[in-house]
Amino acid sequence: MQHFIAISDLSSRAVQDLLDVAIRLKKEYFETGNQPLFKGKVLGLIFQKPSLRTRVSFDMAMRHMGGDALYLSPNEIGLGKRESIADVARVLSGYVHGLMARVFEHAHVTELAKWSSVPVINGLSDYNHPCQGMADALTIQEKFGPAKGLNVTYVGDANNVAVSLLYVCAKLGWNITIASPEGYDLNPAAVELGGQIAAETGAKIIQLRDPHEAVRGAQVIYTDTWTSMGQEEEAAKREAVFPPYQVNARLVGEADRDVIVMHCLPAHRNHELTDEVADGPHSVIFPQAHNRLHAQKAILARLFGVA
């Protein structure tokens, strides 16, 4: 890999390779501690959006592997405003060994990658969230293994997180069902690309309106906030549309007996996900969050060429 911008850019074999590396590095971390494979490496962290998991997981991933991370706030860079993205990329390429960017517009991270001479990682954009997708896949494989044919259901706003989940499921041969209200469907271009990937792996992509129909036979139920950052003006409208898509005990009870419930966090509890489910026996939301650390170690290791 030269950059990590979207899971759709990778082959199915490369996706599974990253997961295998993540599993190995996670095991190593808990048994002996990670080897300092990133010694002498510095990762620049560019943030346009506030973050808990993305910032801390990348920072700690570098530390655990013997490297360092440099946080760059929105006010320090003003990406595309104070200075052109092309100039920022070329300047930072001379200071650090890699860049992670958490941005509003996907075009900003692709522009960074175009001009950067060091690896660029998409830490989140309005189009997709590939680092989250890899942590999701790691969490699912830890529970069910890598076998094809798994049934994954996403319920709610088919946003950037859903796009990366679509891609990783398609790459790994898992069936994915998306249940969302009218007007909040998946990006059509992402569906088309996901369909092309699924045709190669045998995965199925299904889009439904009824969440109860969608979860029948599901081994995984995934949801996310009804109102993402940057959509605050739509909050009242969305609050009126999404209650039927709440992941609650009734909905979980209609899925597979061994179903796991996932959420990328932060969660608006008792909105898209009830406390009973979030803290219940089917929930893996915190192991899922912790797996951001290990999945990102694998991404960094491959980009740095050290594992």
Phi and psi angles of residue 177, each rounded to the nearest 5 degrees, phi first:
-115, 130
Which DSSP string do the residues of 186-201 spell out, in sequence order?
PPHHHHHHHHHHHHHH
Structure tokens at 146: 């890598």
Element (H, E) at 277: helix 275-278
Gap between the Cα atoms of 138 and 174, Å rounded: 13
Which DSSP string do the residues of 125-155 spell out, in sequence order?
-SS--HHHHHHHHHHHHHHH-S-TT-EEEEE
Residue 140: C-alpha distances to residues 19, 162, 168, 306 (Å): 11, 15, 11, 26
Gap between the Cα atoms of 103 and 111, Å rounded: 11
Element (H, E) at 120: strand 120-124
Element (H, E) at 101: strand 98-102
Contacts of 56 (CB under 8 A, 6+ apart): none
Q: Which amino acid is at 113?
A: A
Residues in the chain: 307
Element (H, E) at 21: helix 12-31
Q: Active-site residue numbers?
A: 102, 129, 132, 224, 264, 292
Gap between the Cα atoms of 145 and 173, Å rounded: 12
Element (H, E) at 221: strand 220-223
Gap between the Cα atoms of 238 and 234, Å rounded: 6
